[in-house]
Chains A and B, each alone.
Chain A
């Protein structure tokens, strides 16, 4: 039996909604089949008020063994570093986060807000939000760069806006069943099993990427979304086209550009007007290249591939 406590800070509850839609395993399967005891969760917990506070205090004191502490949303520091804008059970949430993290065997940050600050932490960041152990790309965040939980692991980051339910449940199961040793994390503390490949990996529009045929408007089934509509699939680490959403689709399969929500910089360009769903260019060349590709190589490859494009690549064909 592994005790799990889940709290929310500066959050929209999107990751909780995603988690509750998990199928294999489902949230119920975590309890019945994998021995996870959910001490409290904002949408599932039965306790209210002082009864919740008692659970938290017992976790901190050690009276209740806290195996997994899950946090969703940013850690709010406003105003002036006090955290008073996000009070929970009688005190700033940031204080609960610090003490519960110190008491837990494993700390798991879920969603882009908890991992890297996400939307609340974009400029001018009025809520003084930070992620659990990162602020965008910079290590540190709320718990500090050197933090490790009792298990010896730093905060395990499962980014996404929201995180896919399978990423959440599979990591929780691994931790709860004693297989945390199998986890390897990348430089941003993301489990490599999910975040080594790109969103583009498995994208059904890859043939259009190869032949440099662009989607020019939403709803088109032809074309690649990278060239004009700002898709970040070629430079975003996620398995969105390997582990499908609702088991059968993804943003790009549905004609929606990848927003790069599993990367620390999300949302890119702080959502400045003209930057969303629009590939940013300098003199006609994309500002952000596919990972590992340089500008000169990109231009040569594109010119050659464009000239080789077969006629079918320019047709509106069904790619889902």
Chain B
């Protein structure tokens, strides 16, 4: 599926209320590693599971005073509007968010 189509598909699922694991955020590196392991083992190529486990939202989440938009995340490719985390590799929007956000 082309990135633009897939991005629209993801936007639609989130808009329709797909329940994702937004909280708790990945506070420590151990939390990050645990979520990444779940993505590797449970989600693999299943789109819904990726979105659920990573805790995707179609709006910015603020955690402990930090805004966590895809736009400032280290895995975000600005020009491709793409999440480059190997376990996700998904087209995203800059104002989306997930709990693997890192800066």
For A274, the chain B residues whose CB sits under 8 A away are: 29-30, 33
Q: Give Cα distance in the complex from A292 to B28, angstroms.
A: 23
Q: Is the CB of B79 within 8 A of A314?
A: yes
Q: Is the CB of B78 within 8 A of A309?
A: yes
Min CB distance A36 to B, Å, is 47
Known: A228-B102, A314-B78. A281 touches B29 (CB 8 A): yes
For B72, the chain A residues whose CB sits under 8 A away are: 302-303, 306-307
* Residue from A212, A284, A298, A311 within 8 A of B101 (CB atoms): A284
For A275, the chain B residues whose CB sits under 8 A away are: 29
For B73, the chain A residues whose CB sits under 8 A away are: 284
- 0 or 1 for each of B75-98: is its CB under 8 Å from A? (1 = yes): 111111000111000000000000
Output the residue of A274, A275, A283 with the most chain B CB within 10 A: A283
Known: A299-B103, A303-B72. A283 touches B66 (CB 8 A): yes
For B63, the chain A residues whose CB sits under 8 A away are: 283
Q: Is the CB of B102 within 8 A of A284?
A: yes
Nearest chain A residue, comparing its CB with the CB of B33: A274
B64 beta carbon closer than 8 Å to chain A: yes
For B84, the chain A residues whose CB sits under 8 A away are: 214, 216
Nearest chain A residue, comparing its CB with the CB of B89: A216
Min CB distance B60 to A, Å, is 12
For B79, the chain A residues whose CB sits under 8 A away are: 309, 311, 314
Known: A217-B86, A278-B29, A303-B72. A285 touches B77 (CB 8 A): no
Nearest chain A residue, comparing its CB with the CB of B85: A216
For B29, the chain A residues whose CB sits under 8 A away are: 274-275, 278-281, 287
Min CB distance B25 to A, Å, is 7
For A227, the chain B residues whose CB sits under 8 A away are: 74, 102
Min CB distance A221 to B, Å, is 14
Q: Is the CB of B103 within 8 A of A216?
A: no
Known: A285-B66, A285-B102, A302-B103. A214 touches B28 (CB 8 A): no
For B103, the chain A residues whose CB sits under 8 A away are: 284-286, 298-299, 302-303
* Residue from A216, A282, A299, A309 within 8 A of B28 (CB atoms): A282
B10 beta carbon closer than 8 Å to chain A: no
Q: Is the CB of B68 within 8 A of A284?
A: yes
For B51, the chain A residues whose CB sits under 8 A away are: none
Q: Is the CB of A284 within 8 A of B26?
A: yes
Q: Is the CB of A283 within 8 A of B25?
A: yes
Q: Give Cα distance in the complex from A89 to B54, angstroms.
A: 60
For A279, the chain B residues whose CB sits under 8 A away are: 29, 102
Output the residue of B74, B75, B84 with the most chain A CB within 10 A: B74
B71 beta carbon closer than 8 Å to chain A: yes
18 further contact pairs, Cβ within 8 A, besides A227-B102, A279-B29, A283-B64: A214-B74, A216-B75, A228-B74, A278-B29, A279-B102, A281-B29, A282-B27, A283-B26, A283-B66, A284-B26, A284-B101, A285-B66, A286-B103, A302-B103, A306-B78, A309-B78, A314-B79, A314-B80
A-B contact pairs, 18 of them (CB 8 A): A212-B74, A227-B74, A228-B74, A278-B29, A282-B28, A283-B26, A284-B102, A285-B102, A287-B29, A299-B66, A299-B103, A302-B74, A303-B72, A306-B74, A307-B71, A307-B72, A309-B79, A311-B79
B residues near A (Cβ < 8 Å) are 25-30, 32-33, 63-64, 66, 68, 71-80, 84-86, 101-103
The 10 residue pairs across chains A and B that have the minimum distance between CB atoms: A284-B102, A214-B74, A303-B72, A311-B79, A227-B74, A280-B29, A314-B77, A284-B101, A274-B33, A302-B103
